[in-house]
Structure 1
Amino acid sequence: MAALGTRGTLTEAAGFNAEEDVQSLRSAMKGAGTDEAAITAVLAHRTNAQRQRIKEAYKQTVGKDLAEDLSSELSGNFRSVVLGLLMLPTVYDAFELKSAIKGAGTEEACLIDILASRSSNEINAINAFYKKEYGESLEDAVEGDTSGMFKRVLVSLLTAGRDEGNNVDKAQAAQDAKEIYEAGEARWGTDEVKFLTVLCVRNQNHLMQVFEEYQKISGKSIEDSIKREMSGCLEDVFLAIVKCMRSKPMFFAERLYKSMKGLGTTDSILIRIMVARAEIDMLDIKAEFQKMYGKTLHSFIKGDTSGDYRKILLELCGGE
């Protein structure tokens, strides 16, 4: 099986042997302590497809579930990374969304990060798995846990109705830009529905044209207008959509930076992006990170995390 993407730090391990990896993992879990370095050496250097084969071989050889065994042996952030690596991408996204919704509060950042950045096909796959695994639709779960226009934007994204084509209708783009301007900057109060209609439905190429037209009409970027016109989670989700349309690697580089700068690290965001993007576009994210912040992602992770958690993230990062 080929890797999920061509711009990831994770590529297929040469001479891959699932049975040998199973033995390495079993040895790492034997005895009084757990050898986290041995676990990292295997799981942080295999593609998702290879990790699925290791899981199958483990069940055949040992008669137990690898994720369950590792879960009982590990703890904290290191366990979160390892368990994330063992899931299929769709399963991991669904699991993260479920975790963001359940419990006392909602982790809006997770809902935004995933739903604003995934393709229509990916969202359809997440919806299908979520319903099968958790017994309710993701849309119902989101509707029950969010409110107002923020909820409406998330529900729109969940319909996976974005045009995935490449066509740009210049006249329509000019009209879209005009309507967004008139719904925001040009009036008292903001008609957020117009922003939703354009930002959640049009294809990427078309939106790039809309953003260009908007700059001409208003004299400012669409991002600046969103910041002026909106606040809170609604501002966050619209900005995320715009940034993902412009450049997903740039969006994720910024998310990683913000998860580590200042007091404390937002581990959930850091883990989610490192696990989900390692095989897709981590090389591009690293390049954008260095360009935007003048430091390597590797050095940031090194300075902001510790122990085995740091080591596995640095392996996923793929060096300086």
Structure 2
Amino acid sequence: MRNCNTILSTQANTHKSWQQNSKDSLKSPRPFRETGAAHLSIQRFSSVLISSSQNLNLSSNTMAALGNRGTVTEASGFKPEEDAQKLHNAMKGAGTNEATIIEILAHRTIAQRQKIKEAFKQSVGKDLLDCLKSELTGNFEKVVVGLMMSAPVYDAYELRNAIKGAGTEEACLIDILASRSNAEKKEIIATYKKEHGKSLEDDVCGDTSGMFQRVLVSLLAAGRDESTKVDEAQAVQDAKDIYEAGEARWGTDEVKFLTVLSVRNRNHLLRVFQEYQKISGRDIEDSIKREMSGCLEDVFLAIVKCMKNKPAFFAERLYKSMKGLGTTDSVLIRIMVARAEIDMLDIKAEFLKMYGKTLHSFIKGDTSGDYRKILLELCGGEK
């Protein structure tokens, strides 16, 4: 296992230097050079605010973070005691009334579901989540279980499942760690420790290696500058550094990419991407695909895509989870559950724009039964 504390210390010092004097040319630490990466096939994801003062050719849907852009909103006239009783009635006796479960849980916010859990325990004397698990099965159960968890608990739960046992679902690690804010990641780390009795950082280090591990540890440090400030001179220098670390040389100095992509704020990175296009004649995504492979390629692409347009990133992830033969249900469920209350409206709009078909129609064609029904409710209609 690598000494992750040493890695974190290096990243923290780099970030501190950037914050203290962003107008000085920041020299990236080069503790060692690494080339290549583990050759595993994954996919991508994430974004936050967009400055109206920047002349950026990006979708207005990246404004999702400014307000509630979810398909799931607070139910008016909410009465947790009544919902708890309806759920109890739906599960008692022979058989289960899945329609009632869908009608209630797919149309309540996370906060409202937690109140239903409390009311259920008080009136029935049982844990609602345990009761649901005993009554439901398959992917439908997985969606319902996810809906009953708070956001940090669900993310911690997904990360734990991705790490434990034989093999690692690297796509899950990338999806979550590349798309969450500093505050969200800190809460996930604390929740992971509380719920699973382990350090998320240690578990990640124990299941990954090389430069891919270093990027994940850097993301876990939750030290990204989240201001909106753009240092024009530094943006030009960062673009040059990335170009010289990749396209302009034989081999790739991934540390340069890590230093810039894991520390700089979103607006600054968008300027870096513009400058990189001018210098190299290529989009930064194309260069990452040319210079890297496997998990390392996937995580850097995810960071870039999240900075550009987070809803579009998730739209792509959903599309790839359903296209062709079979469905990657773990990805489909994770995104539908995690984003329903945040930016699903924007994800749907990006999906339609990118693929010419609605997300609703894709889900309808790739799933069935109660699993399909609850996903379509979370999707929020055909348009």
Whether the TM-score (by the shorter chain) exceeds 0.5 is: yes
Structure 1: give runs of 5+ residues left out of the alignment.
none
**What is the aligned counterpart of 1:93 among 124, 133, 155?**
155
Give the whole-Å Cα distance in 1 for the aligned partners of 2:174 and 2:250. Answer: 27
Separation in 2, partners of 1:289, 1:87: 26
> What percentage of aligned pairs have identical amino acids?
80
- Alignment: residue pair count: 317
After superposition, give the CA deviation of every residue in 1:210-261 in whole Å (9 maximum; x if it has no partner). 0000000000000000000000010000000000000110000000000000
Amino acid across the alignment from 2:234: Q
Q: 1:5 to 1:273 in 2, by over 3 A?
A: farther
Secondary structure in 2 aligned to 1:247? helix
Q: Which residue of 1 aligns with 2:251?
A: 189
Aligned-pair distance for 1:33?
0.9
Contact 1:165–1:203 (Cα < 8 Å) also in 2: yes
Q: As a proportion of its length, which structure holds more helix? A: 1
Give, as a single letter, the amino acid of the residue that structure 1 aligns with 2:362.
F
1:38 and 2:95 aligned: no
Deviations 1:166-214 (A, max 9, x none): 0000100000000000000000000001100100110000000000000
Which residue of 2 is the match for residue 309 of structure 1?
371
Post-superposition offset of 1:5: 5.2
- Of 200-209 and 22-31, more deviation after overlay is shown by 22-31
What corresponds to 1:168 in structure 2?
230
Aligned residue identity for 2:110: N
The residue matched to 2:104 in structure 1 has which SS?
Answer: helix
- Runs of 4+ deviating beyond 4 Å: none
The AA in structure 1 aligned to 2:219 is L
Partners of 1:181 and 1:218 within 8 A in 2: yes
Offset at residue 133 of structure 1 (A)? 1.7
Report if the CA contact (8 A) 1:190-1:229 is conserved. Answer: yes
- Decide which of 145, 150, 155 is 1:83's aligned counterpart: 145
The Cα shift of 1:159 comes to 0.2
Q: Which whole-Å CA distance do the structure 1 matches of 2:317 and 2:88 have between them?
A: 35
Preserved CA contact (<8 Å) 1:5 1:279:
no
For the pair 1:155 / 2:217, whether they are aligned, the reply is yes
Question: Measured at CA, do residues 69 and 5 of structure 1 come closer, stay the same or move farther in structure 2, by a change above 3 Å?
Answer: farther
- Counterpart CA distance in 2 for 1:129 and 1:47 is 20
Q: What TM-score, normalized to structure 2?
A: 0.82
Distance 1:63 1:32 in 2: 20
Match of 1:12 in 2: 74
Query: Residue in 2 aligned with 1:293?
Result: 355
Q: Which amino acid aligns with 2:176?
A: I
Offset at residue 35 of structure 1 (A): 1.0
> More relative contact order in 1 or in 2 (CA 8 Å, sep 6+)?
2
- Code of the residue aligned with 1:136 in structure 2: it is K
Tell me the alpha carbon deviations over residues 257-279 of structure 1, each in whole angstroms, 9 at most, x when there is no partner.
00000110000000000000000
Other-structure match for 2:27: none
* Contact 1:177–1:211 (8 Å) recurs in 2: yes
